[in-house]
Structure 1
Amino acid sequence: MSESVAVIGAGPGGLVTARWLTAQGFEVTIFEAGSDLGGQWTGAPGRSGVWPEMHTNTSRILTAFSDLPHNGATTFPSNRDVLAYLRRYAETFAARIRFGVEVTRLSRDARGWLLEHAEGAERFARVVVATGRFQVPVIPPVAGLATFDGSESVVSTYDFRDSARYRGKRVLVAGCAVSALEIAAELVRAGARVVVTQRRQRYVLPKFAAGVPSDHRIFTRYGVLAAEALPATEIDRQLREIVVEAGGSPEQYGAPAPDPSLFAAGVTLSQDYLPLVAEGRISVRPWIASVAGDVVTFGDGHGETFDGVVFGTGFRQSLPFLDENIRATVDLDDVHLDAELHTFHPDLPGLAFVGMWDQSGGYFVPLELQARWIAYTWGGVVPPRDPDAQRRAVSAYRDRRGLPQKTRMNLIAVAFARLAGVEPRLSRWPQLRRALLFGPLAPSCFRLEGPDALPDAADRFARDAAAFGAITTEEFSEREERYWAMVVSSDRR
């Protein structure tokens, strides 16, 4: 008899985990609190931070799973395209989903894992928590913010839905992450007068540069190998060189100058934000000092009146259904969850977490690789992790608490691929060497070898890598040769 697994959440992480667990013979049931699958991509108020005109900031190739390409989607799919894709994915792999069932408590006893909900309680051999970590927006404390009385009030980007209501109004957008910058640009196009306030200026990378999606440029296998072989200062320099070459530096557009270190400043993807700053249609101010009525005073002492304020200032982690023992074991707080690579804890066998990390770049590829690692581990395809090794990994994570937690998509994707045994070896694919190093981390490249390798994966990956340029040729650019030489010559490789 196959083991039962409950997956909590029918977003991308829950769907792809259910697909791979089912392939390993587990009997999987997905519990979804809402009335539709898709997680954030439903656009449902109160359950999603997706607004009607939102498009992805990741390309269609990296916003897909390895078993199902998009159906004629644009380079950057709309939120409706992504939701349709996820519905098709669930139908293709016959996902068993129970809608409208919100898990209120997850606990463990000697007989397994107990899920409690409004309909009662059910027991499962294993559980996957895939509810996401971007559901509770954070609005930072600002002196006098509660007194704001502009006509459009204060909202978070998570609750932003209608740009048309701001036409002709003065709007302050707080933050420099992707949602803040994309909404600022949308508000300008809708006829609002927009000011952006930020604590620090990030580098801003256009989503598309020289005909190539930027996630194809910066989230590469080379970047992983370089991070393992070269000093952090050299990685910082190389990434900054790529970003500035593609989109310039913010001060060239009239925005504040960022920190010379890209790691210190951070980077955000946005196609239109900096050009709108250059045109004077978006003004940039220091961070908010105080609010009094409809007047916002900034750190430089300058004050302006606004009709509305939109905060794009991040999220806190929230898993209210975990019982006190599980919460204590993983030492859950607003940011952290102790687990080996955000997935397993040695003291919680049969429990896995999916998608509970913060990163730059798209989540679809690493989510699938994490799902395969979980499924292969529980299915016996790859050896179970040594508990002592897991404890060392958890300890190392705890040592980093208080430091910046955001990771890069390519680093975590390759880490999951290695644990799942599906990282392609360069020596086996000489015809794809350049694409595997400097091309996109397309899901097809993780079906080249290892468990569930596909006979047509090489052709699929060659097409994916060449979609926006002849990346599969063996002619390396001078910069690529120089970068690669640094990696292979390093004695730390």
Structure 2
Amino acid sequence: MTANVAVIGAGPAGLVVSRWLLSQGLEPSIFEQGSTLGGQWTAQPGRSGVWPGMHTNTSRILTAFSDLPLDGDLVFPSGADILDYLHRYARLFELDSRIRFGARIDAVARAGRRWVVSHDGIDEHFHNVVVATGRFHTAFVPPVPGLDTFTGSAGAVTSYEYRGPSAYRDKRVLVAGCAVSALEIAADLAGAGADPVVVTQRRQRYVLPKFVAGVPSDHRMFTRYGALADEALPTDEIDRQLKEIVVESAGSPEQYGAPRPAESLFAAGVTLNQNYLPAVAEGSITIRPWLQSVDGHAVKFGDGHIEEFDGIVFGTGFTLSLPILADDVRAILNVDAGNLDTDRYTFHPDLPGLAVMGMWDQSGGYFVPLELQARWIAYTWGGVIAPPDDAQQRKAVAASRSLGPRKTRMNLAAITFARAAGVEPRLENWLDLRRALLFGPLAPSCFRLDGPDALPDAAARFAREAAAFGAITDNALTQREHNYWSDVEQARALGHSAVSGK
């Protein structure tokens, strides 16, 4: 009997997992609360934090799945381009007919050895459930005394509610936060006539332009080498290497007139943005310490400075929220503590038949790791690979609970899922691609070289994608790359890490 699977959500995660479930002969039914597919990329108010005119901060090659390249010449496509891509992907794998639009899920609960999905007044039973509702829907606003008294004409909103700069022209705007959404919005406002634009932040992050010397920065920052080095080298050395990439690409924020960040990049954090620091340097954006209180139009900052504003935009992150899960499921996953206690962000041994997709927090784009996570789920339930070992799962869950909420990097997540799915490319099989596989972009095509569903043209595709922006054009390591990789190989030889692909 073919197993039926409920997939909750028709955004990128729900679509890609449905494609791979179908490849294993499983029967996904996709439940979508909205009227169209795409998740965040629909740009619909109330469903999406993507505003009209927004472009990705991840490059075209890394914002796609392995079966369908993202066409066009734009390095950083618009939100509309990504939505069109997702529609084409759904058509390619005939997913449209499997989506139930307007389906409001009331609960996902256990029912013996199966799962029950309650929606629209009915209960349906499924062998398996994938929760792919998206992580970025419940905006977090830190407590600020007097915020409820704010009387600015443009109001106080979150980045999830921001619909573009037109409503803020000639207005005084305060943007709170220092991560991607805050800096994107601040630069957006500064370039479209808001005056002044002030950013309030708890700490100064390093800022990496998304495009440097003709190469997208996510091709440099999120490499397989970086994932292997993370396992083999001391944390302070990883910190040093990543900071070296950032500072050599863009300098340090204080050179632009911003505050000086902590010496450690890990302590300070890093945000990808093209226009923010230049706007600070030319005075279009002013930086203040964190806001201390609000009184009507007036905002008081930590340094005692008081300034009046017409609008406040909070780009202060999101809270993990999975209200559709039954109380006992939420308790097992520890959701109410803001965590998700799972084995590698996906499974829990006490919840067989349930998988959670795309709920981890990371820097870098989600498309590549989402596809790899989808393949792991599909291969596990389809019997292509053995299910995770119970003892190892419990160890992973315990580690997740111990570490608590945390941020990872795109390359670390991608390699984690690639290994779980058995599709991490083996260096010894592709000596002519060795440099690209280590220091090139983690393009989706490189995960079709080895393992289940390998493609005969994957090597040629990956070679083209690795060289697309001129960073990787041959197989000879630069001196720095050679030194970095030698350190990792030495550490591995001494047994400091257990890395697949030996």
TM over 0.5: yes
Aligned to 1:81: 81
Aligned mates of 1:377, 1:111 — CA distance in 2: 17
Q: Secondary structure at the match of 2:105?
A: coil
Q: 1:324, CA displacement in angstroms?
A: 1.1
Aligned to 1:116: 118
User: C-alpha deviations, 1:220-255, integer Å up to 9, x for none?
Assistant: 000011111100000000000000011111000000
Aligned mates of 1:380, 1:73 — CA distance in 2: 39
User: C-alpha deviations, 1:322-380, integer Å up to 9, x for none?
Assistant: 11111111121252111101100001111100001000000000000000000000111
- After TM superposition, the runs of 4+ consecutive aligned structure 1 residues lying more than 6 A away are none
Aligned to 1:383: 386
1:352 partner amino acid = A
Residue 279 of structure 1 pairs with residue 296 of structure 2: no
Aligned to 2:455: 454
2:78 partner amino acid = S
Aligned to 2:377: 374
1:48 partner amino acid = S
Describe how 1:55-94 pairs up with structure 2 within 5 A. 55-94=55-94
1:53 partner amino acid = G
Q: Secondary structure at the match of 1:275?
A: helix
User: C-alpha deviations, 1:276-303, integer Å up to 9, x for none?
Assistant: 0000110000000111110111000001
Aligned mates of 2:73, 2:38 — CA distance in 1: 17
Q: Secondary structure at the match of 1:340?
A: coil
Aligned mates of 1:289, 1:126 — CA distance in 2: 48
Normalised TM-score (structure 1): 0.98
Aligned to 1:481: 482
Task: Provide closer, same or farther for how the CA distance between residues 111 and 430 of structure 1 changes in structure 2, counting only shifts above 3 A.
Answer: closer
Aligned-residue Cα RMSD (Å) equals 0.9
Q: 1:479, CA displacement in angstroms?
A: 1.3
Task: Provide closer, same or farther for how the CA distance between residues 135 and 73 of structure 1 changes in structure 2, counting only shifts above 3 A.
Answer: farther
Aligned to 1:207: 210
Aligned mates of 1:165, 1:383 — CA distance in 2: 54
2:383 partner amino acid = G
Contact 1:5 1:27 in 2 (8 A): yes
Aligned mates of 2:245, 2:471 — CA distance in 1: 18
Aligned to 1:220: 223
2:117 partner amino acid = L
2:336 partner amino acid = D
Aligned to 2:33: 33
Aligned to 1:409: 410
Q: 1:11, CA displacement in angstroms?
A: 0.5
1:108 partner amino acid = R
Aligned to 2:172: 170
Report how many residues are paired: 491
Contact 1:178 1:269 in 2 (8 A): yes
Aligned to 2:47: 47
User: C-alpha deviations, 1:198-223, integer Å up to 9, x for none?
Assistant: 00011000000010000000100000
Residue 257 of structure 1 pairs with residue 260 of structure 2: yes
Between 1:104-113 and 1:435-444, the stretch displaced more is 104-113
Identity %, equivalent residues: 67
Aligned mates of 2:263, 2:51 — CA distance in 1: 33
Q: 1:119, CA displacement in angstroms?
A: 4.5
Q: Secondary structure at the match of 1:468?
A: coil
Q: Secondary structure at the match of 2:184?
A: helix
Contact 1:5 1:127 in 2 (8 A): yes
Aligned mates of 1:87, 1:334 — CA distance in 2: 35
Aligned mates of 1:472, 1:304 — CA distance in 2: 52
Q: Secondary structure at the match of 1:246?
A: helix
Normalised TM-score (structure 2): 0.97
Contact 1:432 1:472 in 2 (8 A): no
Describe how 1:305-320 pairs up with structure 2 within 5 A. 305-320=308-323
Contact 1:434 1:472 in 2 (8 A): no
Aligned mates of 1:342, 1:165 — CA distance in 2: 39
Aligned to 1:360: 363
Aligned to 2:500: none
2:50 partner amino acid = V
1:160 to 126, 142, 162: 162
1:115 partner amino acid = V
Aligned to 1:350: 353
Contact 1:318 1:334 in 2 (8 A): no
Residue 98 of structure 1 pairs with residue 105 of structure 2: no
